[in-house]
Structure 1
Amino acid sequence: MANHNQLLIPKKVEICEVAPRDGFQAETEWIPTETKLNIIRKLASTGVKSMEITSFVHPKAIPQLKDAEEVVRRSQDLTDIKLRALVPNVKGAERAIDAGIKKLKLMLSATDSHSLSNANSTSEEAQNKLEPIIEVATKRGVKVGGSISVAFGCPYEGEVPVSRLASILNRYIKMGIDEVSLADTTGMANPVQVHSILGQLKEQFSMMTFSMHLHNTRGMALANAVAALQQGVIHFDSSIAGLGGCPYAPGASGNIASEDLVHSFHEMGIETGIDLGQMIEVAKGVKQIIGHDGGSYMLQAGPCSELHVKPASQEKLG
C-alpha cells in the first residue's frame, strides 16, 4: 500500500453510510422492509461506524421511506453503530425519537430557489422552522446535526457565495448546532473551490465540525474528498453502489460509492475501520437487489490489490 507522507492529510476518517436514506429514497420500485433491514445489517457488519438509516418525511412525499418507524425499531440491536435519521419538521423529529433514533439530521438549502423547490419556503424561513425541532430534541436528550444542501453550487442559481454559507452557519451556532454537513447535492463542486471554501469556513467557524456529503454527478466527488481531507475534514457521507440522488435537483445522480471512497482512502494509507472486501460484496448484493448501481468503480474494475495472472510469455521471462 502506498504511503504518501508528503500529502498533509488525516490518517483516520469516519464514513457515514447513507444508502438506506439517500440511496433508497431515489428508488421508485418498493424495497420491502425486510430487504432494507437485511441490507442495513450487512452494511453494519462491514465495520462502518455511522449510518443514516431513513428519513421521517411524510409518506406521501417519499413513499419508499414510509416504513421509517419499523426500520428504526428493528435496528435497535445494532449497538456498535451510530444511527441517525433525516427529519424535515417537528412531527418527523418526534416520530424519529419515539422510534429510538438518538441523532437527528436537519434539512436546509443554501439557496432560496432550491429551498422553495425542496421545502416550499425560502432558506431563511426554512431555517426558522428548525428551531422547534432542536427544542424537541434537546428536551429528549437527542443530538442534532445541521446540513446545507447545494452548498457548493445550486442548479438554479449557480455558485453559492461564502457569505451566504456564513450567515446560515452563524444562525446554526445561535441554535446550538456544532456540526454541519456540507452537501454538493448536484455535483457542481470542484477541488479548488472545496479547498478554498472549507479554508474560509474553518477560519470563521473553528468551533464547528464539518462533514462532506458528495455527489458524483460530474465525476469530481473523489477529487473533492481529497481537497476536503487537505483541510482536515475527517467526516464523509457515501452510499453503497453509488446509489442516491436528490428528487428536487435536476440531473442529480448518486452519491460517491462507499466502496470507491473506502478503497481510495485505504490506498492513500487512511484508516476507515471498514473491511473493503466485505463492502464490495455488499455492494454487489445491493446492485443485484436494486437492479442497478449509481456508478461504482469497484463493481466495474475491482480494487488495485486484485491483480491478474501474468501472460504466459511474461512468466517465462520472469
Structure 2
Amino acid sequence: MSLPTHVKIVEVGPRDGLQNEQQTIPAAIKIALVDMLTGAGFSNIEAASFVSPKWVPQMATSTEVMAQIARRDGVLYSALTPNMQGFEAALLARADEVVIFGSASEAFSQKNINCSIAESLERFRPVAAAAKLNGLRLRGSISCTLGCPYQGEVALDSVADVVSRMRELGCDEIDIADTIGVGTPHRVQAVMQRAAQEFPLAQLSGHFHDTYGQALANIYASLEVGIAIFHASVAGLGGCPYAKGATGNIATEDVLYLMQGLGITTGIDLHAVVDAGQFISQHLGRKAVSRAGNAIAAARAG
C-alpha cells in the first residue's frame, strides 16, 4: 500500500509536554513557545488544559496563554476539557477545539478516576453536546490502547468499543494513544485497523510515546495502513509517569525529519521547530530529547 502524501502533525508540547514539568513555567514562556510553533506552520496546536490547578498546577495559566497568543487564521488551538466547568473556560478562552478523553483499559480508568470507562465517557456527554452547540471541533483521545501499566495487554475489542462510544458523542477526530509506549509495529497496525472499523480512517490519529524506542517505527507502521494524523511534542517534551525516567511523547523534530525523508508533506518548517525546541529546552535547563533537533542545531552551530 502506498503511504499518504500529506500528513497532519498535531503539536502537543505546550499542553501534554509541559504539564508534567515540576518547575513552574511562566505564561510568557508558554506564549512565546506557542507563537514560535504557529510561525513554524502547524495547523493544530494543543495549547491549554482547563483542569483544576489543584491537579495540574502547570496549566493554571491556560486562560492567560490563550488570551495572549498571536493566533493565525486556519490554525486550531486546542484545549483539554474534563468537565463542563473546563468547557466553559475553554469557550471563554476562544479554544477552536476541545479534547475529551477516555481509556481503553478498565483497570486504568478505575485506578485513575475511580469509575468505569462507560461512566467516564457518559460524563463527557454534556461537554460533547455543548461543543457541537457552540460550533467547536470535538476531539476524543483514548489512552492505553496498546497496553496498560495495571492490566498489561488491552484487547482490540476494548479499543473498538471506546472508539464507537466516542463516535456516538460526535467526535470529529479520535486519537489512538500508546500512553506507556509499549506498542510495536504489527500490534499498532492491528489496533488501527480495528479502530477503523468503527470510525473513518482519515479521522484517526496516532499518539505514540517513545518509552521503549518504538515510536518512529509505530508511526511508519501507521502510515502503511493509511493513518495520516500524528501527535508529537517539540523537543520531546513530556515524560512517561508510568516508567521512571522514561521519555514520553515522540519529538516533533524527529517525526518531521522522517516525513521529509519519505517525501511526505506536512506544511511545517523543520528548522523553525528546531528553534522552538532549543528555546524551550534552554529555558528548562536541559538538552532537548529530539535526536534530529539536536543534530540539526549542532550542525548549524558548527
Establish whether TM, by shorter chain, passes 0.5. yes
Listed one character per residue, the Cα deviations across residues 46-93 of structure 1 (whole Å, up to 9, x for unaligned) are 111110001111011010100111111212633342111111111111
Listed one character per residue, the Cα deviations across residues 12-55 of structure 1 (whole Å, up to 9, x for unaligned) are 10101101101110101010001110111111111111100011
Secondary structure of 1:107's match? strand
Q: Aligned equivalents of 2:109 and 2:202: distance in 1?
A: 23
Aligned to 1:218: 212
Match of 1:108 among 102, 107, 120: 102
Q: Aligned equivalents of 1:191 and 1:133: distance in 2?
A: 34
Does structure 1 conserve the Cα–Cα contact (< 8 Å) formed by 2:38 and 2:71? no
Q: Which amino acid in structure 2 is aligned with residue 148 of structure 1?
A: I
Aligned ranges 1:1-318 → 2 under 5 Å = 8-75=2-69, 77-206=71-200, 209-245=203-239, 247=241, 249-251=242-244, 253-293=247-287, 295-302=289-296
Does structure 2 conserve the Cα–Cα contact (< 8 Å) formed by 1:242 and 1:293? no
Aligned to 1:316: none
Q: Mind listing any 5+ residue stretches in structure 2 that lack a counterpart?
A: none
Secondary structure of 1:146's match? strand
Does structure 2 conserve the Cα–Cα contact (< 8 Å) formed by 1:180 and 1:208? no
Secondary structure of 1:263's match? helix
Rg comparison, structure with higher value: 1
Structure 1 residue 207, shift from structure 2 partner? 6.9
CA 1:80 to 1:9, structure 2 compared with 1: closer, same or farther past 3 Å?
same
Alignment length, in residue pairs? Answer: 300
Q: Quick one: percent identity of the two aligned structures? A: 35
Does structure 2 conserve the Cα–Cα contact (< 8 Å) formed by 1:210 and 1:233? yes
Calculate the TM-score normalised by the size of structure 2. Answer: 0.93
Secondary structure of 2:103's match? coil
Q: Which amino acid in structure 2 is aligned with residue 278 of structure 1?
A: A
Secondary structure of 1:253's match? coil
Does structure 2 conserve the Cα–Cα contact (< 8 Å) formed by 1:238 and 1:255? yes
Does structure 1 conserve the Cα–Cα contact (< 8 Å) formed by 2:164 and 2:198? no
Q: Aligned equivalents of 2:288 and 2:107: distance in 1?
A: 26
The alignment's C-alpha RMSD in Å is 2.1
Q: Which amino acid in structure 2 is aligned with residue 175 of structure 1?
A: L
Q: Aligned equivalents of 1:293 and 1:156: distance in 2?
A: 31
CA 1:293 to 1:156, structure 2 compared with 1: closer, same or farther past 3 Å?
farther
